[in-house]
Structure 1
Amino acid sequence: MEQYYYNRMNKIEQAVYHALYQGFLNIDEEIQIPRLEGEALYNVFFKLRLDHPEIFWATGYKYKYYNDSPNLIFVPEYLFEKAKIKENQKPENKTPRNTSGKNKAGKAEQMDFRYDYFNLDDKNIFRDHEPLLYPAPACNEGGRYYYKEKKLSFTKIEDVYKRSLQAAKKGRVLTFHWRGGYLTKEVLKDLLGEIEKAGREKNKQPQISLNWAQAVLRVEYRELPEGMIRETKVVMEDANEGEREIIGNREKHRKCVESRAKE
């Protein structure tokens, strides 16, 4: 992936960018960088995070220096404990998911990977968003985006069943995009039916998150005692506000869908 902002920096800014990036990947407590202060340093830090949104847990910084030194000691602020960040850097944990954690103050936090929103094409990503702080390249390839490239954008209901069955069997989270026409209440009912069917075959209960506006569903299966049946829970996620509403069963979910359709 092109590092858009990096390629538009001068040599000193690029050196700072590179040192910070490596330091963030290593989760270093202190990072030595070429001396760059004030707004210039902030711009490099901010643009680096635009190029690499996966390091969202680097939230701020302080710095210190000696008057006669050509370098700074950059002291990053991390949202989560070092062990938690390392755990989520592992390849097997790259699947989009919500992960509980604690910040350095000991307060419980949610590591909320909203890749359901981030990994769609530009037309969907930037709906109703604030103006950009920095120039961004136009994307002329609207037919290419994460879910389609990873073969997680489905047009057939039977494909949803097959991938759900794999997820239930292997204990993996399945996040997919539906592009087989509009995600109407009838289509959604069919999708949920196939997801539940796959779970029943493996004696597992699906927990489902739905980003309605973007037609993205996230499915995670939980083990059930033999013969036990539980109501499927659906979490409604709004892409712009991040609000959630837990719906306890299919009937409640159907009523919610119908009320939204009438608005």
Structure 2
Amino acid sequence: MEPYYYQRLSKPMQEAYHAVKRGVEALSPIFPVPRLDMEQLGDVLFYLRLDCPEIFYVTGFSCRVHPDALRVEFCPEYLFDKGRIREHQKALRARVERLARPAQGLTEWEKERYIHDFICTQVHYDKLKKPYSHEILGPLGQGVGVCEGIAKSVKALCDQLGLWCIVVISENAPEKGIKYRHAWNIVRVGGRYYHLDATFDNSVGTPELIRYDYFNLEDRKIFRDHQPLITPAPPCVDGDGFYYRTKKLSFTKLEEIERRGEQAARKKKELVFHWRGGYLTRAVLEEILQCLHRAGESRGMHPRVRLNWPQAVLQVAYTDQTPAKTLDPQQANEAEELEAPLPQGENPGDTLQ
């Protein structure tokens, strides 16, 4: 099957796609490609690198154009010299094969979780944003990366395991304080498409407690705190595949929360759950917090709650010490966890279904 983005290009751009792919795989310093304008050739390289995350070593290009020629000379910009690229290629192939080996016999869903958990436990966000952090070389070779490198690493591992996956890119929004484009994945599991943002889960969880707030989201949920896509993508309309729903950790009644809170206080284990009982308003949140307080009272325990408001996910830890504050709003983001203020008004959380 042809790569996802390749299929969506025009015939001339598909021809250029193949020519660029052949040239950069051969590490040629210059090679002919069909004559397209620079914007089209830029799109060709952009989509080629999303389809093929193993092409981690091309950072840009220039062209030599002859006025009457049907082709142009394409000059790639390589991140390293040829010898070093070959060394990295060999090491990365071995790394991907080794990482994928334990998951070969798993179901599609289990493969997806295996890859997600690897990112959340073994990869750190690269605040310095080195050049290789935008490619698989960062997360898979150095254990650090930014969203683009993480999303491409997820795709590389999915490709190795035969799990359908694409990298998608959203626009930035400076007016909202979002300076950069963001990258994540769409996967196909059980014939249905879902959003998977391992970068955001990495930011709200820890290696000791992995979070799944962005594991198999539908369109209407992911775009609560993600900008619209600039890349084509299949619609993701199934809400039943969301991780917390499949694990019966998506609650619709306050009594369920209090009962599970009592269990967490008794066992001294953290509880992570999703609220699906209507809009998560400030009033509803206060009722939830009261339930969690009551759940710990008989044991002299006090809850500390971390809240991902847009996704209506709460993480609860009980302690015998009264915390300075009960509620810590979280903001899922690329670099690091920031203290996020509660939004004004209502949060458009899940309506009761």
TM range (shorter): 0.5 to 0.7
Counterpart in 1 of 2:345? 261
Tell me the CA shift for residue 147 of structure 1: 1.0
Candidates 227, 234, 246, aligned match of 1:129: 227
CA 1:176 to 1:20, structure 2 compared with 1: closer, same or farther past 3 Å?
same
For structure 2, list consecutive stretches of 5 or more residues without a partner in the other structure: 8-50, 56-89, 102-110, 124-132, 146-200, 348-353
Q: Secondary structure at the match of 1:180?
A: coil
CA 1:51 to 1:221, structure 2 compared with 1: closer, same or farther past 3 Å?
closer
Runs of 4 or more above 6 Å deviation: 48-51
> Is residue 233 from structure 1 mapped to residue 338 from structure 2 by the alignment?
no
CA contact (8 A) 1:116 1:214 kept: yes
CA contact (8 A) 1:116 1:175 kept: no
Q: TM-score, normalised by structure 1?
A: 0.54
Counterpart in 2 of 1:156? 253
CA 1:79 to 1:180, structure 2 compared with 1: closer, same or farther past 3 Å?
same
Q: Distance in 1 between matches of 2:238 and 2:283?
A: 31
Bigger Cα displacement from structure 2, 121-130 vs 179-188? 121-130
> Is residue 78 from structure 1 mapped to residue 143 from structure 2 by the alignment?
yes
Tell me the CA shift for residue 136 of structure 1: 5.0
RMSD: 4.5
Determine which structure has more spread, i.e. the larger CA radius of gyration.
2
Q: Secondary structure at the match of 1:210?
A: strand
Q: Alignment identity in percent? A: 35
Bigger Cα displacement from structure 2, 230-239 vs 190-199? 230-239
For structure 1, list consecutive stretches of 5 or more residues without a partner in the other structure: 27-47, 63-74, 81-94, 101-110, 247-255
Q: Alignment length, in residue pairs?
A: 184
Tell me the CA shift for residue 130 of structure 1: 5.8
CA contact (8 A) 2:212 2:243 kept: no
Tell me the CA shift for residue 181 of structure 1: 0.9
Q: Distance in 2 between matches of 1:179 and 1:152?
A: 10
Q: Secondary structure at the match of 1:76?
A: helix
Tell me the CA shift for residue 18 of structure 1: 8.1
Q: What per-residue deviation string (whole Å, max 9, x for no partner) do you get for residues 16-51 of structure 1?
A: 99854442369xxxxxxxxxxxxxxxxxxxxx9999
> Is residue 214 from structure 1 mapped to residue 311 from structure 2 by the alignment?
yes
CA contact (8 A) 1:171 1:221 kept: yes
> Is residue 197 from structure 1 mapped to residue 262 from structure 2 by the alignment?
no
Alignment of 1:137-176 (within 5 A): 137-176=234-273
Counterpart in 1 of 2:205? 98
Q: Distance in 2 between matches of 1:190 and 1:131?
A: 36
Q: Distance in 2 between matches of 1:23 and 1:176?
A: 33
Q: Distance in 2 between matches of 1:195 and 1:119?
A: 27
CA 1:236 to 1:144, structure 2 compared with 1: closer, same or farther past 3 Å?
same
Q: What per-residue deviation string (whole Å, max 9, x for no partner) do you get for residues 85-138 of structure 1?
A: xxxxxxxxxx997337xxxxxxxxxx89552234543321244336366x6553
Tell me the CA shift for residue 159 of structure 1: 0.3
Alignment of 1:40-51 (within 5 A): none
Tell me the CA shift for residue 220 of structure 1: 1.1
Tell me the CA shift for residue 156 of structure 1: 0.5
Tell me the CA shift for residue 187 of structure 1: 0.9
Q: Distance in 2 between matches of 1:163 and 1:205?
A: 14
Q: Distance in 2 between matches of 1:223 and 1:25?
A: 42
Q: Distance in 2 between matches of 1:159 and 1:208?
A: 17
CA contact (8 A) 1:214 1:239 kept: no
Alignment of 1:245-260 (within 5 A): 245=339, 260=344
